[in-house]
Structure 1
């Protein structure tokens, strides 16, 4: 297919990029907290003299509480706008960070992570949605993956710096929000066409592209695409919220909407069901089982996880709009299957030798880094880009919120059960299990995820309708 009118430019709009960077700032804070907990887990357990069960609760409670934030964020962002939802996320997370930073006991630290978790739920839902809505189709993958880059930056900082500075990015975020515009798509959904037009011209590369994007959004909402009024009355079918939206999306969806929901929820489920949180939070345990017994060496090897994650997530931002979402995620998960199988094998050999074989130690570290690399070059960014772009505007807030809730639930499940599973089936057995889940994920992605590269947000529902049953031909869908 040829590129549509106004969509020919692949140049990144600087204003849209700046807006996405500000929206992604809270992801740095979340990533920082994750990195801190991974590195600090060794010392927290000793300091507070807590059991493995309490360690699991401390690791997973943030993501469990994020369920509240993610399920609330969709409705909130539809009512008050994407911009002010980011404000709410940053304020809640800042409060939680302060409590964690100065918490003198296990209980206070737990409360702080609960509060921060609600903020995380808001942030993980709203940041990719906002970035997707201000970006053009040709650069949407890059800009929408910036929150994932922020998480990787934060994790790396957390590994290196430890507790105490989570408030600093919050201050930059507070300053940036003052200059951030509202999402033009949300403004049009509220009938504020004049404001939306002004912002759309700023985030588009040229007037022709801006006008095309405005017409597509107005047409999708039910407004005359040639309407130039500054303010219009929105049809009741669009204005209706709450129970009606829930029913339409979950109980009585159209065939295309059901497929979108399955794809969106499925990719969020598999992102964490394949075990990444086990490696991010418990990498020191993996390296200890492989034969790295010195705490300083464990932390050094853990920093390598953060550096690998950051390097390959940056690479993914370059590839995602060139290669496409589908090819990237299929390649990513295929590599994860191989890496997880290798990791399980080498950890088995390391345990059998009592950690005395240097080559099993080296290969365990290499396969750990390989798994992190394959995950972050594809599945990590595609999950957030894909769900932010496939839901129709009317259902986007709720749909992405449900996806993020499933994402956080699986994250919490892995975080809070890894040590118990390790005791029950050995650490190698756990990673063999993750390899098996990755195979299932690969099959799911092959059959349920069409290519969305180059498509406008308003074309997505038609894309899922038009290609129902195409299966292996999905790779050609939406190819410009």
Structure 2
């Protein structure tokens, strides 16, 4: 029970307020004190804060367009690279797969770099390295030079894939974090679609020129990324780790409309960082804590790294990179028809990631993961069946296209975006960048091994047999989601940490919270 403008209320939630009309001045009596406080709700400010966070998420995700474009454009460009440079089948596998293998070094470096120089400037470094590699590839006169550019692109992608979700998760409110952290996956899909369209648009040029134009067009987003660096702020959680409290408070004031909530959030972040002062955090051996984890951290690593690996070993990259090979095996022979079919795949993938954005914070992570993994399993079995028994028949071609489109649709509605959401939100602040980088390494290694071996494996067990294996792996992904993935919908980053703790560990966290509150009071006094 409480008093609002002299009226008795009961909202069933202790000392919180019942709903108050926005834009009004209201007095209320707190349940744990005899102090009357005055609140003014500010709808315009709150709306501006939401727009500000939304804009930051958009700009932070732009690097993902580069990754997606590379994935999409290489599926078609490799056809013309092979004609122009006369590369072998093994060299094709290496050219495509090496990107994921090399990107693991970028991810490992990205975790350390983002802790050292900040999330924002790690995003900038990712763009610079990737764009340099893209320029080298577009101008490459030989396979060796092409590989040098590919290696640089891999490092840039490694930086980008781990830092964007971490940055967005650290600036987003809990109620919208799932949707906002999905933005990098949306932009990856948009990039893939643009890559497919570029393939189709420039396929009429000569083999020597077509693939160079296809790769060169991917350099255009660099201008927008450069502008974005002057707009987005640094992560407030990283600023707290650097003991730059005033700067962190200034950023939080832009994304939280209540000054009191800003101070409460600062206190929570201090607890999440596991620090009573900056020196204590800096002296922590983060990698030691990751490789010799406590039981809660071990459970986090299994969930975060496991979901990253399952995202790749279900074969999504081979479906995208080698979609022309799949459709050729189904019976399509014309290059133009092959590339047109891949555009349909790109549109499907992009459409369903947009659907995921609207559902992820309403239905939750786990229900969408169930739908995603079960649907992918069915489509992979369907694709295997159509290639094995309906190959080169018109009905088989239609069945194969529908199966591939269905596979990428179910991937995009769940496993694709939620993988990055989970890996960026389940780890405690002091470990988040490095642990997310470790998960990204698992993802990149899995992707690279599968991409580099796909053509060789299909030679041994056929394309149909290969996708049957992917379908079996997808079945195990359903079990992993059931046993290892908790629901994190609507929880703050600091609350999520408690999902992996036992009752005894939770009591220890309460003591840390009291210590941090005393630290905040001392900091305000000084």
Query: TM over 0.5: same fold?
Result: yes
1:74 is aligned, of 101, 106, 111, to 111
Map of 2:130 onto structure 1: 93
Superposed CA deviations along residues 70-120 of structure 1, whole A, max 9, x for unmatched, are 011111111111111111111111111111111122111111110010010
Deviation at 1:223, TM superposition (A): 6.1
2:163 is aligned, of 126, 130, 142, to 126
Map of 2:362 onto structure 1: 322
The whole-number CA distance in structure 2 between the counterparts of 1:126 and 1:65 is 16
Map of 2:34 onto structure 1: none
**3-state SS in 1 of match to 2:216:** coil
1:65 is aligned, of 87, 102, 110, to 102
Q: Does 1:175 align with 2:227?
A: yes
Q: Does 1:34 align with 2:67?
A: no
Map of 1:145 onto structure 2: 182
The whole-number CA distance in structure 2 between the counterparts of 1:333 and 1:106 is 38
Q: Which runs of 5+ in 2 are unaligned?
A: 1-11, 20-42, 199-213, 505-526
Map of 1:465 onto structure 2: 501
Greater relative CO, 1 or 2 (CA 8 Å, sep 6+): 1
**Does the aligned pair in 1 maintain the 2:329–2:387 contact within 8 Å?**
yes
Deviation at 1:209, TM superposition (A): 4.4
1:441 is aligned, of 459, 464, 477, to 477
Map of 1:247 onto structure 2: 288
Q: Does 1:273 align with 2:313?
A: yes
From the superposition, tell whether residues 3 and 466 of structure 1 become closer, same or farther in structure 2 (CA, over 3 Å).
farther
**Does the aligned pair in 1 maintain the 2:368–2:413 contact within 8 Å?**
yes
Map 1:281-430 onto structure 2 (within 5 A): 281-351=321-391, 355=392, 357-430=393-466
**3-state SS in 2 of match to 1:451:** coil
**3-state SS in 2 of match to 1:447:** helix
**Does the aligned pair in 1 maintain the 2:168–2:181 contact within 8 Å?**
yes
Q: Does 1:185 align with 2:237?
A: yes
Deviation at 1:205, TM superposition (A): 5.0
**3-state SS in 2 of match to 1:178:** coil
**3-state SS in 2 of match to 1:455:** coil
From the superposition, tell whether residues 198 and 121 of structure 1 become closer, same or farther in structure 2 (CA, over 3 Å).
same
Superposed CA deviations along residues 245-302 of structure 1, whole A, max 9, x for unmatched, are 1111112x11110000011110011000000011100000111111111110000001
**Does the aligned pair in 1 maintain the 2:272–2:430 contact within 8 Å?**
no
Q: Which runs of 5+ in 1 are unaligned?
A: 225-232, 469-480
Runs ≥4 residues deviating over 6 A: 1-6, 8-12
**Does the aligned pair in 1 maintain the 2:274–2:430 contact within 8 Å?**
no
Number of equivalent positions = 451
Superposed CA deviations along residues 17-54 of structure 1, whole A, max 9, x for unmatched, are 11111111111011111111011121111111111111
Deviation at 1:350, TM superposition (A): 2.6
The whole-number CA distance in structure 2 between the counterparts of 1:18 and 1:328 is 26
Map 1:447-458 onto structure 2 (within 5 A): 447-458=483-494
Superposed CA deviations along residues 143-175 of structure 1, whole A, max 9, x for unmatched, are 111011111111111111232122211111011
Map of 2:51 onto structure 1: 14
**Does the aligned pair in 2 maintain the 1:56–1:417 contact within 8 Å?**
yes
**Does the aligned pair in 2 maintain the 1:159–1:302 contact within 8 Å?**
yes
Q: Which is greater in Rg?
A: 2
Superposed CA deviations along residues 337-370 of structure 1, whole A, max 9, x for unmatched, are 100001100111133xxx1x21111111101100
From the superposition, tell whether residues 116 and 104 of structure 1 become closer, same or farther in structure 2 (CA, over 3 Å).
same
- Superposition TM-score, scaled by structure 2 size: 0.83
The whole-number CA distance in structure 2 between the counterparts of 1:110 and 1:223 is 44
Q: Does 1:234 align with 2:278?
A: yes
Greater displacement, 39-48 / 292-301:
39-48
Greater displacement, 215-224 / 336-345:
215-224
**Does the aligned pair in 2 maintain the 1:20–1:146 contact within 8 Å?**
yes
**3-state SS in 2 of match to 1:32:** helix
- Superposition TM-score, scaled by structure 1 size: 0.90
The whole-number CA distance in structure 1 between the counterparts of 2:14 and 2:74 is 46
